[in-house]
Chains A and B, each alone.
Chain A
Amino acid sequence: MKKKRVLLGVILGIIVAGGLYVANRFWIAPAATTLSAQTDGAYPMAPNFKLASLTGQTLSLSNFRGKVVILDFWATWCGPCRLEIPEFEDLQRKYGPQGLQVIGISEDDSAAPVRQFYQQFKMNYPVAMATDKVGMLYGGIFGLPTSFVIGRDGRIYAKHIGAMSEGVFEREVRQLLAARPNQMVTNFAPAVPGSENISVETPAEVNSPVPGVDVSKLTPTQLTELKKTLSSEHCACGCGYTVMQCRQVDGGCATSLKMAREAMAKLTQKTPI
């Protein structure tokens, strides 16, 4: 009787171990592989833009395809942003010949202080004035400085909010410079653990009557209903506007964006597109 119990225990143990092996072999391990592959896919393509630079030339991201780009959203009134500028100038000098291009996008209200700063600090890379739409294409600029590190293949590999040391950018840029044009860097290691999530928006979201929400598939009736809902609801960000107004005046407000997207989801659940 005792022997039988021991045998049963051994058989049960073998079954459990086998089950664990099978689960790992066919479910857990593929999940890990998929996740690794997905990490590669999590580097979105940097949205293209065309802006007039301070020197009057057209600044288009597509002109720098094949180069490693640091896209820096900054402002002259932002102390931490000013701290980074000499570091970017240094990186441009050091790695420009190898294919690095720093681009500055100023969030100042007017070009005058930016132009003055540009000349005073003898900036050695192009700077253009931001538009709301450019910021939104890059997932909304919630704090300054916000910098994107873009590879030779046009993908965004890192996003940094707040001033970073030159070494952080240098480590990331060197990895990306080592790649061939159009080659995805599969083993990219961000210099800062837990770098920001990278999300970009589509022109359909950016050019929407409800900025940030793609309403292109809604019927006219649904769109009217969505606008009505968003115009009757107050934004929880504390701005004092309705969600609709907040989306229109402050495209960078994550609270109104979330509320608008939730309202859109609710609407499409109620009356599917």
Chain B
Amino acid sequence: MRDLSPVTSSHRPTQRNRPKPGGVWGLFFAAWLALGVTGVPMQAQESSPVAKARVVLATNGAHRGSAIKAAVVVRIAAGYHINAHHPSLNYLIPTEVRFSPSAYAKVMKVIYPTGRAVHFSFSNTPLSVYEGEVPIGLMVKVGRTGKASEIVLHGQLSYQACNDHACFAPTSIPLVVTVPVLPANIPLKPAHAAIFSRLRFN
């Protein structure tokens, strides 16, 4: 069923007759090619991640037995979008954040922002998407037990990105949240206020 018939090297574009420019004429020739005068496509095909993500805490740490706020800050490359967690059409793949619980902490709740309704040329109806920088809220519950000075949780962000005329395959990127555990008598200090002001945890 997955038989891949042989493709010989002769099927590949030949390099044999490529002129070997040198000196001044070589420069002219190279410039001629670079300018695309010949119509030879000069596009490079490189893939780079459309979305990057980091996890930040709303405080400088947590006390044992408490719950703290965290956020997955997703940065989406300009010109692209990823589907919101609740996409407007049922065939679209939603953005999701998942964390595996550890013995000492777990993510209790993931708070997804509402997507922006954007109209694309390929859809008659506006689609609910995330663009630019998007924070996704996390409520992390730290257990009462344990002696470690910090707790590490591993998770992943799954998304599917498109621009106005093409899409990338669904993909996921690993997430790590490190929670420093502070003694109960040390007060917690707020952090990343600008990010958390954009999230509604209630």
Given contacts A44-B12, A79-B167, contact A207 B41 (CB under 8 A): no
Q: A37-B17, A79-B92, A194-B36 are in contact. Are A203 and B43 (CB under 8 A)?
A: no
Check A145/B166 contact, CB under 8 A, given A31-B21, A52-B1, A194-B36.
yes
Task: Let me know if B38 and A79 touch, CB within 8 A.
Answer: no
* Cβ of B123 under 8 Å from chain A: yes
Q: In the complex the two chains form, is A50's CB within 8 Å of B169's CB?
A: no
Residues of A within 8 A of B162 (CB): 78-80
Contact with A along B90-127 (1 / 0, CB 8 A): 01110000000000000000000000000011110001
Number of B residues with CB within 8 Å of any CB on chain A: 53
Chain A 188-218 per-residue mask, 1 if CB under 8 angstroms from chain B, else 0? 0000011111111111001100000000000
Choose one: B6, B48, B173; the contact of A255 (CB below 8 Å).
Answer: B48
Please tell me if A176 contacts chain B, counting CB pairs below 8 Å: no
Q: CB of A234 within 8 A of chain B? A: no
Q: A163-B166, A237-B49 are in contact. Are A51 and B1 (CB under 8 A)?
A: yes
Q: Could you tell me if B166 and A80 are in contact, using CB atoms closer than 8 angstroms?
A: yes
Complex: A203 Cα to B171 Cα, angstroms = 26
- Contact status of A207 and B4, CB under 8 A, knowing A44-B12, A78-B167: yes
CA distance A37 to B16 in the complex (A): 11
- Of the candidates B4, B48, B91, B122, the one whose C-beta lies within 8 Å of that of A163 is B122
Q: Any chain B CB within 8 A of the CB of A243?
A: no
Q: For B89, list chain A residues within 8 Å (CB).
A: 79
A-B contact list, 17 entries, CB within 8 Å: A38-B17, A44-B11, A48-B7, A50-B5, A52-B1, A76-B91, A77-B92, A78-B162, A79-B167, A80-B165, A142-B168, A194-B36, A194-B42, A200-B11, A239-B171, A252-B47, A252-B169
| Residue B86 is within 8 A (CB to CB) of chain A in the complex | no
Contacts of A79 in B (CB 8 A): 89, 92, 120, 122-123, 127, 162, 167
Which residues of A sit under 8 angstroms from B39, Cβ to Cβ?
Answer: 39, 193
B7 (CB) vs chain A CBs: closest residue: A47
What number of residue pairs across chains A and B have CB atoms under 8 A from each other? Answer: 163
Chain B residues within CB distance 8 Å of chain A: 1-9, 11-14, 17-19, 21, 25, 29, 36, 38-43, 45-49, 52, 89, 91-93, 120-123, 127, 160, 162, 164-171, 173-174
In the complex, per-residue mask of A95-110: 1 if CB is within 8 Å of any chain B CB, else 0: 0000000000001000
For the complex, what is the distance from the CA of A254 to the CA of B168, rounded to whole Å? 13
Asked if A113 and B91 sit within 8 Å, CB to CB, the answer is yes
On whether A35 and B169 interact (CB within 8 A), knowing A79-B92, A203-B6, the answer reads: no
**Number of contact residues on A: which range applies?**
35 or more
Given known A-B contacts A41-B13, A200-B7, A254-B45, A239 and B122 have beta carbons under 8 A apart: no
Q: Is A18 an interface residue (CB 8 A)?
A: no
Interchain CB contact (< 8 A) of B40 among A35, A52, A83, A201: A35
List the 6 closest A-B pairs by CB distance, nearest first. Answer: A48-B5, A162-B166, A45-B11, A238-B49, A162-B165, A31-B19
Kindly report which residue of chain A lies nearest to residue B47, judged by CB atoms.
A254
- Cα–Cα, bound, A243→B15 (Å): 28
Complex CA gap A77/B46 in Å reads: 23
Is A194 in contact with B43, judged by CB distance below 8 angstroms?
yes
Which of the listed residues B4, B120, B160 has the most CB atoms from chain A within 10 Å of its own CB? B4
- Chain A: CB-nearest residue to B49: A238
Q: Does A260 contact B (CB under 8 A)?
A: no
B47 touches A253 (CB 8 A): yes
* A144-175 contact mask (Cβ, 8 Å, vs B): 1 or 0: 11000000000000000111000000000000
